C-alpha cells in the first residue's frame, strides 16, 4: 500500500486524476475525493451474498461515462446476481474503478470481476455457445475493449471537437480539462493508436463498427437469439457511442450508418435496463435515483 501511495504522490495532477479512473473516464475531482485516496476509512459493512459494485456517479444519457461500469452492471443484471451500487471515488487495489466486493473479498478489473463471480456462483452465460462460438465471442470482446475502446478515448479526450459534455458532466474548467487531455495524449501515444492522425483513427473506428455490424447482422444479440457474456462488453462500449458521443461530430453514427447496432443498443437497454431513466441524470438536469 505504501508503494502505491508513494507512486501516486510522484504523479502530477493530471496523472493522478487519470490514474484514479483507469486513465479514461474521470469523476468530479474535489479536495474531498483526493483526501479519500489517502485517508484510511473504517471498513463498511455490506450485506452478505450481495455484490458491492464500486463505480463513479451516473452518466448523463447512459448509466455511466465508463463503458466498463456499464459492462459489469449489465452482467450482474443478465446473471440475476444481487448487487448494490456504491458511487464514489473509492479505488480498487489497482487504483482503478470499476471494481467489486463480495462477502469481504475485493476484486478489481471488470473482466476479472466477471471471471470471479462465474467461478464463485457457478454462472455461465456462454453455456449455449459451441467452443468455436466462444472463441469468436472472445475475439469480438478483445476488438471492442482493446482496440475500439482506445479510439473512443481519442474521440472523447484528444480529437479536436466540442468538449462541453465532459465539462458539464464533471463540472470542470478549461485548465483541468487541458491537463487531462495532455495525459491522455501521452497514454494513447504509448498505447499506439494515438500516433495516428484523426482521419486515420476515425477510419479504424468505422472499420470496427462495420465489423460488428456485419457480424451481428439481423441477429437479436451478438451470437444469436439469446444474449451471452460478451454482449455485456459490446454493449458497454457501444453505449458510449450511442448515448455519449455528443460533440464528437459523429453523434448519430450508429443511427445513420449502422442502424442494426442502434437497434442492438435499444434491445439491450429494453432487456436489461427497464429502469434506465432512473439510472441516468438526463443531461445533468436531475439526480439519478438508482
pLDDT tens string 135-184:
999 999 999 999 999 999 999 999 999 999 999 999 889 999 999 999 99
Q: Nearest CA to 55 among 25, 32, 17, 75?
A: 25
Cis peptide bond N-terminal to 98, omega within 30:
yes
Q: Are 23 and 157 in contact (CB under 8 A)?
A: no
- The confidence score (pLDDT) of residue 23 equals 43
| Residue 27 · residue 89 · CB < 8 Å | yes
Beta-bridge mates of residue 5: none
* 71 contacts 233 by C-beta, under 8 angstroms: yes
- Grid cell for residue 281: 441524470
pLDDT in tens, 226-246: 999 999 999 999 999 999 999
Grid-cell match 456462454, residue found: 126
- Number of other residues whose CB lies within 10 A of the CB of residue 168: 13
Q: Residue 115 and residue 109: Cα distance in Å, rounded?
A: 10
2-28-160-182 Cα dihedral, nearest 10 degrees = -20
N-to-C CA span, the chain: 32
* CA atoms of 228 and 128, how far apart (whole Å): 8
Per the listing, cell 454482449 goes with 231
pLDDT tens digit string along 176-205?
Answer: 999 999 999 999 999 999 999 999 999 999
d(CA 61, CA 237): 14
- What is the pLDDT, as a whole number, of residue 42? 58
Is residue 35 over pLDDT 50?
no
Q: What is the pTM of this model?
A: 0.86
Amino acid at each position: 500500500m505504501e508503494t502505491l501511495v508513494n507512486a501516486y504522490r510522484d504523479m502530477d495532477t493530471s496523472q493522478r486524476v487519470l490514474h484514479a479512473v483507469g486513465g479514461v473516464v474521470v469523476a468530479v475531482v474535489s479536495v474531498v475525493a483526493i483526501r479519500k485516496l489517502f485517508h484510511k476509512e473504517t471498513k463498511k459493512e455490506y450485506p452478505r451474498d450481495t455484490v458491492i459494485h464500486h463505480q463513479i456517479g451516473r452518466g448523463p444519457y447512459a448509466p455511466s461515462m465508463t463503458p466498463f461500469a456499464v459492462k459489469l452492471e449489465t452482467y450482474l443484471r443478465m446473471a440475476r446476481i444481487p448487487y448494490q451500487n456504491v458511487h464514489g471515488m473509492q479505488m480498487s487495489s489497482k487504483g482503478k474503478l470499476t471494481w467489486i466486493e463480495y462477502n469481504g473479498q475485493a476484486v478489481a478489473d471488470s473482466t476479472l470481476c466477471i471471471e470471479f463471480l462465474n467461478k464463485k456462483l457457478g454462472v455461465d452465460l456462454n453455456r449455449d455457445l459451441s467452443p468455436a462460438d466462444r472463441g469468436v465471442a472472445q475475439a469480438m470482446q478483445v476488438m471492442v475493449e482493446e482496440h475500439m475502446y482506445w479510439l473512443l478515448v481519442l474521440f472523447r479526450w484528444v480529437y479536436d471537437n466540442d468538449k462541453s459534455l465532459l465539462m458539464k458532466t464533471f463540472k470542470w474548467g478549461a485548465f483541468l480539462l487541458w491537463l487531462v487531455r495532455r495525459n491522455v495524449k501521452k497514454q494513447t501515444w504509448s498505447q499506439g493508436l494515438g500516433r495516428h492522425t484523426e482521419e486515420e483513427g476515425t477510419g479504424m473506428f468505422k472499420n470496427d463498427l462495420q465489423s460488428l455490424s456485419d457480424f451481428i447482422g439481423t441477429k437479436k444479440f451478438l451470437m444469436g437469439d439469446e444474449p451471452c457474456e460478451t454482449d455485456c462488453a459490446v454493449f458497454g462500449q457501444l453505449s458510449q457511442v450511442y448515448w455519449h458521443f455528443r460533440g464528437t461530430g459523429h453523434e448519430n453514427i450508429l443511427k445513420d450508418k449502422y442502424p442494426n447496432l442502434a437497434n442492438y443498443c435499444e434491445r439491450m437497454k429494453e432487456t436489461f435496463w427497464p429502469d434506465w431513466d432512473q439510472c441516468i441524470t438526463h443531461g445533468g438536469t436531475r439526480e439519478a435515483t438508482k
